[in-house]
Chains A and B, each alone.
Chain A
């Protein structure tokens, strides 16, 4: 049990200490700009989702296990990865007909 806690704590401190690269996704007219974003695989990155629309949106991805509301004119930070190389679709749940995008890890 103690060993296990140590394992969690060390993993936590490592993840907190690592320098992470930042990428920006902008929501404009309920579309993601860019709709395709390439990030390095096998490393944690920080996604900044900036909502330029006046209405709220929910950034969501089943493949990334992420779900987060961004208010109108608001911005959120979403950490993703380390990801295996591949394609990870994401969408805006409040405007699913337009707000679609894909993250490419390579």
Chain B
């Protein structure tokens, strides 16, 4: 039972933290519950499908299908988060001004809610498929349904509770800093996912590591500790990153920062053109 609790907790935590950042970032959007709920539902369906076809996915791409599949899912989430972040840099200020003055919900309008629905769905799909495979294995191995359900629900409850804790913590951020804060979190989240995707492509033998181990901070914080795991989800912490992971991380942060600068001031030409020198 404890093993079930721990595994379900680990997987749920990852999805729950991502969902709570998305929920905070869409604060004040009317109908966001339906978008997030839709993302969760699609994710659960996707998780079951991925688990059912796990064998087929694994055998694809000369046995490296699982790595490619994960990398594509991760990079798709990075693109979707990036789209939202760049959009918010343009509209975030008017949004927080509007919410401060009116104190009411704003309609989603042209806001790319679909992007965030996809981010939620992909997070649930990735983590949920492992839970489904694990649970299937336990049942097929003769474990009792009761112990599986009990451990699973407890793990789910703790993971979701931590997600809510993060969400309500984020809501305490003052309104004028709120969307910069959630946007910053989304940038780091996207960078972490990109770095994980790079790791998958190294595992698939499709990318070189450049440097096998850039540093080793496992003496300070291991990947499997609760803090290490949480930081891995939120900002992409890993105790022994490879060079290519760091490169993916840095490129994601740079592209999103340049993107937000570039799009946030459409009128002031000199300020907008300077970041181009970097590209």
Q: Which A positions have Cβ atoms within 8 angstroms of B? A: 8, 11-12, 15-16, 53-58, 62-63, 65-72, 74, 76-79, 82-84, 93-97
Contact = CB atoms under 8 A, between A and B. Distances in A.
B240 A62 contact: yes
Interface string B210-246: 1010000010001110000000000000111010000
A78 B203 contact: yes
Given A8-B208, A62-B224, A76-B63, A68 B203 contact: yes
B136 A8 contact: no
Interface residues of B, number: 35
A24 to B, nearest CB: 14
A44 B249 CA distance: 25
Contacts, number: 84
B58 A12 contact: no
A8 to B, nearest CB: 7
Nearest to B64: A77
Given A65-B199, A68-B203, A71-B133, 12 more contacts: A8-B208, A12-B208, A16-B205, A55-B136, A68-B67, A69-B66, A76-B58, A77-B64, A82-B212, A94-B134, A94-B137, A97-B3
Contacts of A11: 208, 210
A83 B242 CA distance: 13
A15 B208 contact: yes
B8 to A, nearest CB: 12
A55 B54 contact: no
A79 B55 CA distance: 19
B3 A62 contact: no
Most buried by A among B3, B134, B137, B210: B137
Nearest to A11: B208
Nearest 4 CB-CB pairings of A with B: A55-B137, A11-B208, A62-B223, A71-B55
